[in-house]
Amino acid sequence: MNKKVKYIDWGLTDYQVAWDKQEVLFNETVAIKTKNRTENTQILTPNYLIFCEHPHVYTLGKSGKPENLLLDEKGLVEKQATYHKINRGGDITYHGPGQIVGYPILDLDHFFTDIHLYLRTLEEAVILTLADYGISAGRYPGYTGVWLDGDNEKARKICAMGVRCSRWVTMHGFAFNVNTDLTYFKNIVPCGIDDKDVTSMQRELGVMLDVEEVKTKLKMHIAALFDMELI
């Protein structure tokens, strides 16, 4: 079992560049697992927790509907945004500056082989981080992600999730709105949900947050919940 996880902060990174880098790490890990199984080797697989921010971009998951993007090519140019169809689960979402995007590339054989527990654990790390700032958050029945007032008509999402998992190796992850420009969500049907609002820590608290401080709290909660050692 390898519970050591390499923490990397890619900073502000183009979405396609980040996706390509994820694919390399993901494929390397899957290849090691395949070799261990077919050749009876015992090579330890690596684990990564990657944080970054992206320039304005909309991404559509493999189960998403293209019509949930409400902009044409001209509109994307005007918004200085790009658009990618990708291989994670979920529908359409937005990434941009002021948002913590997390890409855990983990071999869940080192932790637990339960994708639903994996998602709930990531959600719990965000919920605990928000609690550190006095924001009460939770879940919205039937949906992934982290929500405020998830039990009533004021429900609003503060963190979206969409993952890919193969041979118990994960990629993609979550998008946590800290100081995010929420006007960009008006150009999509976020996660395919057309009757719920989206929010951010900045909107809820009325002040700009120190994103680096939020990252530190979040990664510590992730490490504790997964019983991982960040290196």
Catalytic residues: 191
Work out the number of other CB atoms within 10 angstroms of the CB of residue 78: 10
Which residues partner with 99 through β-bridges?
177
Residues in the chain: 231
CB 48 within 8 A of CB 106: yes
Alpha helices in 70-114 (DSSP H): 73-78
**Which of 68-71's residues contact partners 24+ apart within 8 Å by CB, and which partners?**
68/92, 68/188, 68/189, 68/192, 69/187, 69/188, 70/186, 70/187, 70/188, 70/189, 71/187, 71/188
